[in-house]
Amino acid sequence: MIVALDPGAGECGAKAPPRALAARAASGSAWLIAARIGTRGIDLATLMVLARLLTPADFGVVAVAMMLVQIVEAVFELPVAQVLVRAPAALGAGEGGHLSRSMLDTAFTLSLLRGLTLAALLAGVAWPFAHVYHDGRLLGLICFLALAPALRGVASPRLALYARVLDFRRDCAADVAGKICSFGMAVSLARLTHSYWGIAAGTVTSPVIATAVSYILAPHRPRLTLLYWRQFAGYLGWSSASQVLSAVNWQAGRFLLSGFVPRAGLGLFSLASDLSGIPEQAIVKPVGRPLMAAFVQVVHEAERLERAYLRSVASLVTAGTPLMLTIALLAAPAIRLALGERWLGAAPLVTCVALGNIAPLFTAPFGPLAMALGRTDRLFRRNVIECGIRLPPLVLGAWGWGARGVAWATALAAVAVSLNIMALVGRMIGVSAGRQLRAAWRAMAAGGLCAAVLVALCPITAGQTGLGLLVSLALCTGGGWAAYLAGLLIAWHLSGRPDGMETLLIKTLRAFVATGRRRLAASL
């Protein structure tokens, strides 16, 4: 388990039994991770099919349009859901600590106004943006894609009532339903038209369905009101500025490449970024809310906060490292199998970016820590540091070496940014960068063994096609992960068997074996 929460407030604002709340928090984390893995799996399946039907240039033109949409969306970011989840009874909550209808309606109204403003702004800048890029296709594409963030923001505000008690099942169900329908729409339209509009249709379908399902699972008939708008305005400032910089950092590579390489090259880089980012999206992002709740419970106890932070670092690095290494070192045969020969140009880009993505695992808990401490200014500082470190090498890489230069610059900048964030954490809670690195030494040692086995086995995929390639890839992956698990358990044993991911793994295996024995005995 990645996070272990201490007791806190219960559903009605009172203290809940520690074990009951911890179990609820664990269940909430499990649902979020499972749903994110499921939606990333659907995204991967969609990508595999679309890559067979469309060209890198099709992906490139959508990447240019999405670059603008995502930056503008970040500029108008309003943390409505976070405000509703954290709102105390004194701020618009009804009897027993439940949020009042007016508070929920204010959230809906603000989200609606934000969506309309965002869509109108994107429609207004679509023509000059298309003119700058000398591509008339971008005009209609941007206007259509603007529907996605506008609709995503008006999901049922009543979902927050369940999130306040760490029940995320409805959020998960809505997301999965949206992704399933998105897959059907994107693939169907791509097969009919062989056009980039299949990608765009899938992008918009997902929030449409997810929003509709949210009102089925958490019924609410919204009314327009701004009664509690001040409570939401109080959460702007550093948080919004941080979101803007984060979006700029995220899209900087694609933005620079769009001016130096053809659309096909941009499409290859966009696909490489999406593939190498799957582990982070599936594992790191979902634990943000439970992790923040964990830190909140011990925020006034320095020693426990240090232990909680270091344990979260170790857990995330342990969970993410084998996935990153597998994606990086088996990129070429995996792309050949899943996407086809014409996408092999993305393989070295995937390798660079995925290897670079290991370093940010060490600093993934920083955001939840800053939120728990109420230091959103530190999030802004982090993004300023990242922007200052990333942009110069990205500009040089794009200008000198195109997509490959941006990939290497991205990887090197990720390491430099992570070291700077470790120093920032040290100033916040007194945990040195050295202690943060040592917290995950077992995962790093096991990762080295895993990498060696993957590199040694990868040649067996050469010359293979179809089923043979699939089997050889499975053997490579299985061998690498077996080596990682063995190395992890050996390092854990040598270090005195401390509490951590290995402890949970051993308990899970024992429970699985015991269950199997009971079922076998019952069948006999």
Per-residue pLDDT of the chain (524 residues; tens, 9 = 90+): 444 333 333 433 444 444 454 555 556 566 677 777 788 888 888 888 998 898 888 888 998 898 888 888 877 777 677 677 666 544 444 444 466 788 888 888 988 988 899 899 999 999 999 988 888 899 999 999 999 988 888 888 888 777 776 677 888 888 899 999 999 999 999 999 999 999 999 999 999 999 999 999 989 888 888 887 777 776 655 566 677 777 777 778 887 887 787 888 888 888 888 888 888 777 777 777 677 767 877 888 889 899 889 989 998 999 899 999 999 999 999 999 988 888 999 999 999 999 999 999 999 999 889 878 878 778 888 888 888 898 899 899 888 888 899 999 999 999 999 999 999 999 999 999 999 999 999 999 999 999 999 999 999 999 888 889 999 999 999 999 999 999 999 999 998 888 777 787 787 777 777 777 787 777 76
Using DSSP's 3-state secondary structure scheme, residue 93 falls into strand
The pLDDT, as a whole number, for residue 342 is 85
Q: Is the Cβ–Cβ distance between 142 and 115 less than 8 Å?
A: no
Token pair, residue 359, equals 């370093």
Q: Residue 288's closest CA among 364, 232, 179? A: 364
Quote the CA–CA distance of 97 and 146 in Å, as a whole number.
36
Residues 6+ apart with CB under 8 A from 455: 329
Look at the block and give the residue holding tokens 């994110």: 36
The pLDDT, as a whole number, for residue 237 is 56
Q: Is the Cβ–Cβ distance between 211 and 154 less than 8 Å?
A: yes
Q: Identity (one letter) of the amino acid at 102?
A: S
Residues 6+ apart with CB under 8 A from 353: 272, 273, 276, 277, 407, 410, 411
Look at the block and give the residue holding tokens 């529907």: 147
Using DSSP's 3-state secondary structure scheme, residue 277 falls into coil
Q: Residue 368's closest CA among 280, 309, 310, 292? A: 292
Q: Cα angle vertex 369, ends 362, 235, to 5°?
A: 130
Q: Residue 212's closest CA among 150, 146, 155, 171? A: 155
Neighbours of 276 (CB within 10 A): 26
Q: Residue 24's closest CA among 35, 14, 11, 37? A: 11
Token pair, residue 130, equals 């298309």
pTM: 0.76
The pLDDT, as a whole number, for residue 207 is 92
Token pair, residue 179, equals 């992704």
The pLDDT, as a whole number, for residue 1 is 40
Q: Identity (one letter) of the amino acid at 75?
A: V
Q: Is the Cβ–Cβ distance between 191 and 46 less than 8 Å?
A: no
CA atoms within 13 A on the CB side of 263: 18
Token pair, residue 506, equals 């051993």
Token pair, residue 254, equals 């694609």
Quote the CA–CA distance of 288 and 311 in Å, as a whole number.
14
The pLDDT, as a whole number, for residue 210 is 92
Quote the CA–CA distance of 139 and 123 in Å, as a whole number.
8
Quote the CA–CA distance of 25 and 4 in Å, as a whole number.
8
Integer distance in angstroms from the first to the last C-alpha of the chain?
34
Token pair, residue 111, equals 């989200």
The pLDDT, as a whole number, for residue 239 is 62
Q: Residue 358's closest CA among 272, 284, 247, 307? A: 284
Token pair, residue 467, equals 């089923």
The pLDDT, as a whole number, for residue 236 is 59
DSSP state of 15: B
Extents of the domains making up the chain:
18-432
* Dihedral (Cα; 467, 276, 74, 30), 10-degree rounding: 80
Quote the CA–CA distance of 344 and 338 in Å, as a whole number.
11
* Dihedral (Cα; 165, 40, 308, 427), 10-degree rounding: -110
